[in-house]
């Protein structure tokens, strides 16, 4: 089999970016070009390079492999080795294109320079290394405005890749009738160790207030049903602080049914291990979620949400990324970090959820501090009892999404670059 003469390298980091940016772009690129791995005789190869990032979980390569979109996937732990000796990871032709789609933009700059390829960046908020980019795909005009005047011509405003999620989430499999609440307790173990006990008790409390509601828990690819069950037991010290637990798990009988967890109080929580679960999430009346990339996905799907950030458990603070996570790991700060960060956030009026950050105002409620499942259950009941409030939040989320078509526009530019490189 002849080697490819041109490589398109997508650079990314965590599960959120992979599912909402990388996957749709790769799928559409395959639908428009005859490229590898689907067409082994093609001269163009599509590859994925994962980069070091605190938001990554270590399971990204496994998740992306299931899509059958890439001829080769390099894991984050091998990134530096790839930079030092690319030939160790296969044949790299002299012509190629690197596309930044998550992580630190500098990694794609380094990789493109090492391979001698063109470098492009999808810039959500800012293009940090514009002089090292041959092309910048901007989410908004604001990104372009920040560029030096002589570099603006390198920038094309393509729109928000997240806005196309709702197009991808076509309702082929409608949820059964009922009021559906999505539970998103986190994807990292440190967050799940708090999220699972907290959300189990929250489900029990809400089921008591609204007996006819139904719960849906999409299992992140970075965890498993067994881990979720384990974190609900005494093996997890935090679980001892909550009254709820998992009584049993009922496996699905066939492909048309889901497995479900049944709590000690008899609340049923349906599980879905397909990833991403956008088709089902988009049909939920309300989502109860931790902070993270999932708030951007829910916003793109226009699913009303309540963002829950309980700071009473110090493990959660250690799971945070960036400077806060570093501070939270310092032993002498552990006793006061939860209260300190809560007060600081309130005084600074900073937002944690993507819709609020994007809008610069409170679009979705963020509940931070020493909060209880009972408090969130009561608030959830109030939202679910007010269809107008839910619809108002949904409409606000739709307005934030921006126009659709970013995936196609970005692919148009990628194909133009591929054709120019081939000449």
The pLDDT confidence band at residue 316, using thresholds 50, 70 and 90, is very low
Is residue 121 exposed (0-12), middle (13-18) or buried (19+ Cβ within 10 Å)?
buried
**Is residue 394's pLDDT more than 80?**
yes
pLDDT tens per residue, range 329-353 = 555 555 555 555 545 554 555 788 9
Look-up: residue for tokens 């020493």?
370
Query: pLDDT class for 315, splitting at 50, 70, 90?
Result: very low
> What whole-number distance in Å separates Cα of residue 61 and Cα of residue 58?
7
Query: Could you read off the pLDDT of 86-116 as tens digits, one per residue?
Result: 999 999 999 999 999 998 999 999 999 999 9
E-strand stretches of 139-296? 155-157, 179-184, 213-218, 246-250, 260-263, 268-272, 286-289
Across the range 30-36, mean pLDDT stands at 93
C-alpha distance across the termini of the chain, in Å: 23
With tokens 């080697």, the residue in question is 3
Res 274: pLDDT: 81
Side-chain half-sphere CA neighbours of 225 within 13 A: 19
> Cβ distance 247 to 209 under 8 Å?
no
pLDDT digits (tens, 9 = 90+) for 154-177: 999 999 888 877 666 666 678 889
CA distance 147 to 133: 12
pTM above 0.85, yes or no: no
Mean pLDDT of the chain: 87
Which residue has tokens 């309980």? 310
- Domain annotation for the chain: domains and CATH numbers: 6-159+405-422 (3.40.50.2000), 179-401 (3.40.50.2000)
Supply φ then ψ for residue 218, to 5 degrees.
-75, 125
Interatomic CA distance for residues 48 and 103, integer angstroms: 13
Question: Which residue has tokens 């988009």?
Answer: 282
């Amino acid at each position: 089999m002849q080697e490819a003469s041109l490589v398109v390298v997508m650079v990314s980091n965590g599960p959120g970016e992979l599912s909402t940016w990388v996957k749709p772009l790769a799928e559409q690129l395959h639908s428009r070009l005859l490229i590898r791995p689907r067409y082994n005789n093609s001269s163009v190869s599509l590859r994925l390079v994962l980069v070091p990032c605190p938001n990554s979980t270590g399971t990204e390569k496994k998740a992306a492999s299931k899509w059958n979109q890439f001829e080769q996937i390099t894991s984050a732990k091998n990134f530096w080795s790839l930079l030092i000796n690319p030939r160790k990871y296969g044949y790299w032709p002299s012509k190629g294109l690197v596309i930044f789609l998550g992580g630190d933009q500098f990694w794609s700059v380094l990789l493109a320079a090492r391979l001698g390829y063109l470098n492009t960046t999808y810039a959500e908020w800012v293009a940090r290394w514009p002089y090292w980019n041959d092309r910048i795909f901007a989410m908004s005009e604001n990104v372009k405005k920040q560029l030096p005047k002589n570099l603006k011509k390198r920038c094309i405003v393509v729109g928000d890749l997240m806005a196309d999620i709702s197009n991808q989430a076509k309702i082929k499999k409608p949820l059964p009738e009922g009021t559906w609440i999505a539970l998103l307790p986190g994807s990292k173990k440190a967050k799940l160790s708090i999220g699972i006990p907290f959300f189990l008790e929250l489900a029990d409390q809400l089921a008591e207030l609204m007996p006819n509601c139904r719960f849906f828990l999409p299992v992140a690819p970075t965890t498993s049903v067994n881990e979720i069950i384990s974190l609900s037991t005494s093996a997890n010290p935090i679980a001892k602080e909550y009254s709820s637990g998992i009584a049993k798990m009922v496996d699905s009988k066939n492909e048309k049914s889901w497995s479900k967890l049944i709590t000690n109080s008899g609340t049923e929580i349906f599980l879905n291990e397909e990833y991403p679960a956008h088709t089902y999430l988009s049909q939920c009346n309300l989502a109860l979620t931790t902070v993270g990339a999932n708030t951007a996905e829910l916003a793109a799907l226009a699913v009303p949400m309540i963002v829950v950030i309980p700071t009473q458990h110090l493990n959660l603070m250690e799971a945070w990324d960036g400077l806060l996570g570093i501070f939270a790991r310092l032993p002498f700060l552990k006793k006061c970090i939860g209260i300190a960060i809560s007060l600081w956030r309130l005084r600074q009026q900073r937002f944690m959820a993507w819709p609020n950050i994007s809008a610069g105002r409170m679009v979705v409620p963020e509940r931070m501090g020493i909060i209880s499942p009972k408090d969130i259950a009561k608030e959830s009941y109030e939202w679910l009892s007010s269809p107008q409030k839910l619809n108002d939040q949904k409409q606000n989320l739709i307005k934030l999404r921006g126009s659709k078509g970013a995936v196609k526009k970005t692919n148009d530019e990628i194909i133009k670059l591929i054709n120019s490189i081939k000449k």
